[in-house]
């Protein structure tokens, strides 16, 4: 969901667009009056639009890289426990199936798994390239091409 408790992201995006629009109007007016030549216009555009793009980019980044949002009454720890329970019960799941099971986005799933890996309590192995989660039992029987086995958290 893009509307959350914090409107900082939308504020950054709005200020960025307002800055770009205001600078564009100011530059257009000065060019029309003959105050600015081509070099002055380019310099003015660079000085105004780069910071504006930074603000918009920061807002978009914050929107797309939020920590998982728990459902009302559901904590992140509960979501992580459900993730581990589903994985242990099935052995392996695609990231899409896990997202459906938990009712979260793939970015939220990645944040949950990253936190479990950081805490060294993830019960298995993740192959983000193939978009598959493996339980510890499933990962033990998964040989690699070089003959070694997959390292995982016990």
Write the pLDDT tens digit of every residue in 118-146: 888 887 888 888 888 888 776 666 555 55
CATH number at residue 120: 1.10.10.10
- Per-residue model confidence (pLDDT) at position 98: 87
Answer yes or no: do 82 and 59 share one domain: no
Answer yes or no: do 104 and 50 share one domain: no
> Which of 35, 64, 93 marks a domain boundary?
64
**Number of domains into which the chain is organized:** 2
- Per-residue model confidence (pLDDT) at position 152: 45
Answer yes or no: do 40 and 80 share one domain: no
Write the pLDDT tens digit of every residue in 65-118: 765 554 555 678 888 888 888 888 888 888 888 888 888 888 888 888 888 888
123 is a domain residue = yes
Quote the domain boundaries for residue 80.
76-140
- Per-residue model confidence (pLDDT) at position 143: 54
* Best CA proximity match to 86, nearest among 71, 106, 103, 74: 103
For residues 91-110, one letter each, b for 16 or more C-beta atoms within 10 angstroms of the residue's C-beta and e for the rest, the string is ebbebeebbebbebeeebbb
Answer yes or no: do 50 and 92 share one domain: no
24 is a domain residue = yes
Answer yes or no: do 134 and 85 share one domain: yes
> How far does the chain reach from its first CA to its final CA, in angstroms?
34
Specify the higher pLDDT residue, 64 or 132: 132
> Which of 19, 40, 64 marks a domain boundary?
64
42 is a domain residue = yes
112 is a domain residue = yes
Q: Which two tokens stand for residue 18?
A: 């307002």
Model confidence at 19: pLDDT above 80 = yes
Output the pTM of the full model: 0.46
């Amino acid at each position: 969901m893009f509307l959350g408790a914090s409107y900082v992201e939308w504020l950054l995006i709005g200020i960025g667009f307002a800055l770009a629009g205001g600078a564009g109007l100011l530059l257009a007016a000065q060019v029309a009056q003959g105050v600015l030549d081509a070099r002055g216009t380019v310099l003015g555009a660079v000085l105004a639009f780069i910071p504006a793009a930074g603000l918009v980019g920061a807002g978009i980044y914050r929107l797309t890289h939020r920590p998982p949002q728990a459902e009302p009454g559901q904590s992140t720890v509960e979501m992580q426990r459900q993730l581990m329970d589903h994985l242990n019960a099935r052995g392996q799941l695609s990231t899409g199936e896990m997202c459906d099971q938990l009712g979260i986005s793939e970015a939220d799933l990645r944040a949950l798994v990253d936190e479990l890996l950081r805490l060294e309590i993830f019960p298995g192995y993740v192959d983000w390239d193939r978009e598959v989660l493996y339980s510890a039992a499933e990962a033990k029987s998964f040989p690699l091409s070089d003959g070694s086995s997959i390292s995982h958290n016990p």
